[in-house]
Structure 1
Amino acid sequence: MTTSKTEGKQCNLVNHDEIWKVHINMELESAKSWPQKWGFLTESYNQAMQESSKVTDRILKLELPEHLRTRPPTPPEEYLETTQAFIGWRSAVPGLQLERYGRVQCGKKSFLKELGWALDGCS
């Protein structure tokens, strides 16, 4: 029999079966000896999980600021909301507008004119 890894070479199925058995036995033995060697990790893991559950309880009790709260969902058959409508209602709230610092001013001045240089001074 040939396999894709050893093309042209004979494959001894009995040897492969023995190797597989050795691997399985090693896995079973390591599973049995794990609690004696590494069992202390489970205690620290349980402590960490208890501490994290306390932290998540505190986090869940915090309220979001008003500008981060979401609207309650509406059934789709009543109102189908598009992305444009979602952006539109958010931009209607003064604190959520995109232009926080006023309207964008397009530069109509020339840097060269401000410095008093000739317009053909830079190429």
Structure 2
Amino acid sequence: MADPQRTSEPINFVHQDEIWKAHVKLEKDSADAWPNKWGFLTEASKEYKMESEKLKKAVKVELPPNLASQPPTPPEKCIQVGPSPPVPQTTQGLIGWRSAHSHLQLEKPNTMQHGRRSLLKELGWPLEACC
């Protein structure tokens, strides 16, 4: 289309229409020729989908109990939220007003827990297997 910034040149609407007709004709011709050139891809895709469905039905893999997914723990069991302190009167007081109280802090010091289980012990591998 014509650039709206260039107002010195007159716009030839007939020429613009011919360009648009050529674009539309090219799109239509390409759409008509596509099945002859690339139509085999649709059949191959359908065959692949049918074959993969057959394989999924034939092969049922059950995970061992140690790899099966566990139901999620409800957040209420881990997180306890207490009442908030009163909102400060000034905007300067808003900065860190909840973290100033020790019972409202999100991170508690020295509460990091390390796992008691070892992958090597679960698999029955010797400790030297991991170097």
- Which TM-score applies when normalising by structure 2? 0.46
If each structure's helix is expressed as a fraction of its own residues, which one has the higher value? Answer: 1
When normalised by structure 1's length, the TM-score is 0.49
